[in-house]
């Protein structure tokens, strides 16, 4: 009787092994890795360890590309932040590695959390991605990037100032206009932000240049004003006009005031109503240079 009992137990064990092998072959991958057995209230559920050498982990297709792409954006955002946490960044990168190789579609954050290396924070992000298609932090980053681009288009606003305005929470050019710390150049840039975007047709540009040349001749017949840049290259339209202005009596000497020559012209154009605003004024070391243009390729 004892022998029969042992034989029956041995047969049962053999059958169990054979059934288990069959289960591994035909089951959906998620069921193998995720589906828990009978819950035991006294023991914490064991995490499933990622083993990249396991054949069942290998997949030619990323079935969770939307999740890994969004998590990749969050990881990059964490990396770019000055106060970013390198451990968080590494955790996101590890989660992306695991989920990319996972051979089944993840349908919830709770399911992903059962994989070793994915905690509650990332699981919550996955739930958000599955529900909305993105993460709130990524949406905020995209909005900040668009605002940065908008503010950078204002004349006088460089990358540092644009980022500072974004960090202050400004959402529009109108918000920017109320900033108490704007420079005079930035205020003019805001005032004419739409005008600066307009292109000047070639015919109109020629008329403006001829007007300035006529004013120069009234100041002194010896003045020479030549169009440069886009108009010089015969472009059909341009967004700005550049002119090289010189005078044959100018010589490079300590007694010469090159700024006065330019200011004579700008004062005359302002009095005539041709110039409405000065974006910058004053003579800087490299801002105004008077040189002979004889033989120049300007």
pLDDT (tens digit, 9 = 90+) per residue, 159-183?
888 889 988 999 999 999 999 999 8
Is 156 within 8 Å of 185 (Cβ atoms)?
yes
Q: What is the pLDDT of residue 180?
A: 92
List, by residue range, all CATH 1.10.150.110 domains of the chain: 65-134
pLDDT above 80: residue 66:
yes
pLDDT digits 0-9 by tens, 99-109: 988 888 999 99
List, by residue range, all CATH 1.10.150.20 domains of the chain: 140-193
197 catalytic residue (yes or no): no
Q: Which CATH number is 140-193 given?
A: 1.10.150.20
* 260 phi/psi in degrees, rounded to 5: -65, -35
Share of the chain above pLDDT 90, in %: 15
Instruction: Please tell me which residue in 125, 139, 191, 197 is annotated as part of the active site.
Output: 125
Q: What is the pLDDT of residue 214?
A: 93
pLDDT digits 0-9 by tens, 236-288: 888 788 888 887 776 655 455 556 677 788 889 889 988 888 776 544 433 44
Q: Which CATH number is 65-134 given?
A: 1.10.150.110
Highest mean pLDDT among 22-36, 202-216, 266-280 belongs to 202-216
* SS3 at position 89: helix
CA separation, residue 135 to residues 17, 78, 276 (Å) = 45, 13, 47
- Per the model's pLDDT, the better-predicted residue between 125 and 247 turns out to be 125
List, by residue range, all CATH 3.30.460.10 domains of the chain: 200-271
Half-sphere exposure of 218 (CA within 13 A, CB side): 11
Mean pLDDT of 212-236: 83
What's the per-residue H, E or C state across 187-256?
HHHHHCCCHHHCCEEHHHHHHHHHHHHHHHHHHCCCCEEEEEHHHHCCCCEECCCEEEEECCCCCCCCCC
Given pLDDT bands bounded at 50, 70 and 90, which one contains residue 19? very low
pTM of model > 0.75:
no
Given pLDDT bands bounded at 50, 70 and 90, which one contains residue 295? very low
Spell out the CATH class of 200-271: alpha beta
Residue 73 burial by Cβ neighbours in a 10 Å radius (0-12, 13-18, 19+) = middle
Cα(194)–Cα(181) distance, integer angstroms: 22
Q: Which two tokens stand for residue 86?
A: 């390198």
- Closest-CA residue to 54 (of 28, 23, 75, 33): 33
Q: What is the pLDDT of residue 46?
A: 58
């Amino acid at each position: 009787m004892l022998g029969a009992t042992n034989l029956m137990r041995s047969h049962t064990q053999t059958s169990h092994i054979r059934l288990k092998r069959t289960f591994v072959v035909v089951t959906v991958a998620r069921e193998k890795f995720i589906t828990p057995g009978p819950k035991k209230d006294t023991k914490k559920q064991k995490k499933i360890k990622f083993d990249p050498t396991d054949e069942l982990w290998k997949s030619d297709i990323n079935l969770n590309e939307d999740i890994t792409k969004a998590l990749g954006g969050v990881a990059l955002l964490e990396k770019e932040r000055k106060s970013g946490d390198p451990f968080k960044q590494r955790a996101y990168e590890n989660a992306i590695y695991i989920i990319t190789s996972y051979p089944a579609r993840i349908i919830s954050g709770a399911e992903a959390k059962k994989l070793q290396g994915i905690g509650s924070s990332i699981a919550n992000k996955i739930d958000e991605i599955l529900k909305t298609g993105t993460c709130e932090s990524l949406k905020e980053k995209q909005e900040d990037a668009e605002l940065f681009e908008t503010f950078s288009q204002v004349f006088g606003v460089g990358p540092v100032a644009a980022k500072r305005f974004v960090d202050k929470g400004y959402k529009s050019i109108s918000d920017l206009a109320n900033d108490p710390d704007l420079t005079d150049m930035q205020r003019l840039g805001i005032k004419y932000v739409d005008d600066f975007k307009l292109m000047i047709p070639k015919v109109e540009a020629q008329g403006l240049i001829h007007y300035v040349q006529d004013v120069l001749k009234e100041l002194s017949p010896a003045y020479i004003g030549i169009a440069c840049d886009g108009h010089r290259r015969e472009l059909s339209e341009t967004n700005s006009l550049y002119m090289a202005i010189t005078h044959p009596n100018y010589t490079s000497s300590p007694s010469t005031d090159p700024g006065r020559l330019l200011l004579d012209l700008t004062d005359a154009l302002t009095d005539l109503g041709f110039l409405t605003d000065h974006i910058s004024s004053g003579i800087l070391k490299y801002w105004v240079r008077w040189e002979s243009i004889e033989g120049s390729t300007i």
